[in-house]
Amino acid sequence: MPRKKIVAGNWKMNLDRAKARELAGAVAARSGEAAGVELVLCPPALYLDAVGAALAAAKSNVGLGGQNMHDKASGAFTGEVAPPMLLDLGCTYVILGHSERRTLFGETDAIVNAKTKAALAAGLTPIVCVGETLEEREGGRTDAVVTTQVRGSLAGLSPADLEKVVIAYEPVWAIGTGKVATPQQAQEVHALIRSLLGSLASSEVAGKIRIQYGGSVKPDNAADLASQPDIDGALVGGASLKADDFLGIAKAFR
């Protein structure tokens, strides 16, 4: 059975409440343009409620996701967001281990692993991000870095849980830089990730897991990426802030 393509928009720390609602409404109203592709919007935590309401009002199938979460369900963790809180706001997805969380906020594979397990336990689908820096790629360490991140971030997951995870390969050197991995470079790493998933479970399970590409994805390069056999969608940053661009990318994966 073919893997259903998934395109998620990571709005990062952008927009205000009104613009967030407007963008969500525009994507929802036109989601039929990307029929057959699963769409997910991940606004800032403060706007999850507003975006969720806009999606519900449009009676769309567009999913809602958080950009991060804590691994505990509650407690004295000032400023954090718990898995049940995301669920309460209608989220079905959560981005974990994004390179900005890893590089700017010191998140380790162990932290990402704890969050991934907590997300699954809560009934959320984690989008687990992995990827190498420019220095690591130029040093020929891409495979080693990605292997360590995949194994560490997914350690201890059962095959059944692994099937519920979405992986996002995001070469750090391509995020927000305008640079993009060639389709061949992206496919090589996606194939490596699928092989690693097979070693963690089985080739059958690995064949069911969706692996997104992220890193300066735009409408004009999405089709070439979508043509690769192991690229199952995109985790979109800047281009997700415009409905035309986001939907243009999503349409490439139909």
Give the active site residues. 98, 170
Give φ, ψ of 211 to 5 degrees.
-120, 115
Q: Which residues of 83-112 are buried (b: 16+ CB within 10 A; e: fewer)?
A: bebbeebbbebbbbbbbbbbeeeebebebb
* 219 backbone dihedrals φ, ψ, rounded to 5°: -55, -35
How far apart are alpha carbons 124 and 140 in whole angstroms? 35
**Residues contacting residue 87 through CB under 8 Å, at least 6 positions apart:** 122, 123, 124
Contact 130, 169 (CB under 8 A): yes
CA distance 185 to 193: 13
Which of the 8 DSSP states describes residue 172? G
From 12, 27, 29, 42, select the one nearest 166 (Cα to Cα).
Answer: 42
